[in-house]
């Protein structure tokens, strides 16, 4: 690669990535985790930031293992959501996968999570930030309709799809 290629790629925008899991109970409720590091918005989706050179699926598996202490069985992608920048945060792609876990005897890292709860899908907006709740509701809708993948921008569907 010559210097002009290096300059070109060095000047491309940086986009963060995160991956999470839609984990559901037998009755269809959604697993949320209570974060200790964000008291203003304590509830979140199991998952987190992708590390350098890590794929979305690998990040989802790693984050579920770190946060819940179980092996994530990633079944299918449900949602990709482009989230616009909010300085100092850069734009991000948020991936949500349908995930099964072998049991709910979770081992939470006390410095990161203080609890978990099964939440009915219609109550997601009571727990989550608006954009995250929209993303999770879209994932639930895709999951309820047999799968597929929907593309969102800031939690809103911009292309025809199952949401």
Q: Domains of the chain (ranges plus CATH)?
A: 14-157 (3.90.79.10)
Cα separation, 102 vs 47, in Å, equals 17
Q: Which residues contact 101 (CB under 8 A, 6 or more apart)?
A: 23, 64, 68, 70, 71, 72, 73
- pLDDT at 142 exceeding the cut of 50: yes
Q: Dihedral of the CA atoms 79, 121, 98, 136 (nearest 10)?
A: 30
Q: Does 3 score more than 70 pLDDT?
A: no
Q: Which region holds residue 155: left if phi is over 0, alpha if psi is between -120 and 50, else beta?
A: left
The predicted-structure confidence for 11-29, as pLDDT tens digits, reads as follows 888 789 999 999 999 999 9
**Residue 135 reports pLDDT greater than 80:** yes
Helix, strand, coil shares, percent, the chain, to 5: 25, 35, 40
CA-based nearest residue to 66, from 52, 46, 51:
46
pTM flag (> 0.85)? yes
């Amino acid at each position: 690669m010559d210097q002009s290629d290096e300059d070109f790629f060095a000047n491309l925008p940086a986009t963060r990535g995160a991956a999470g899991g839609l984990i559901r109970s037998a009755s269809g409720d959604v697993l949320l985790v209570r974060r200790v590091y964000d008291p203003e918005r304590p509830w979140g989706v199991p998952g987190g930031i992708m590390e350098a050179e890590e794929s979305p699926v690998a990040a989802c598996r790693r984050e579920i293992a770190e946060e819940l202490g179980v092996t994530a069985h990633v079944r299918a992608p449900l949602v990709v959501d482009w989230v616009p920048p909010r300085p100092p945060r850069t734009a991000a792609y948020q991936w949500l996968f349908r995930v099964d876990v072998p049991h709910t005897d979770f081992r939470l890292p006390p410095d990161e999570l203080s609890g978990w709860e099964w939440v009915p899908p219609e109550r997601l907006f009571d727990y989550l930030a608006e954009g995250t709740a929209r993303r999770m509701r879209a994932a639930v809708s895709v999951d309820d309709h047999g799968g597929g993948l929907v593309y969102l921008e800031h939690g809103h569907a911009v292309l025809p799809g199952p949401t």
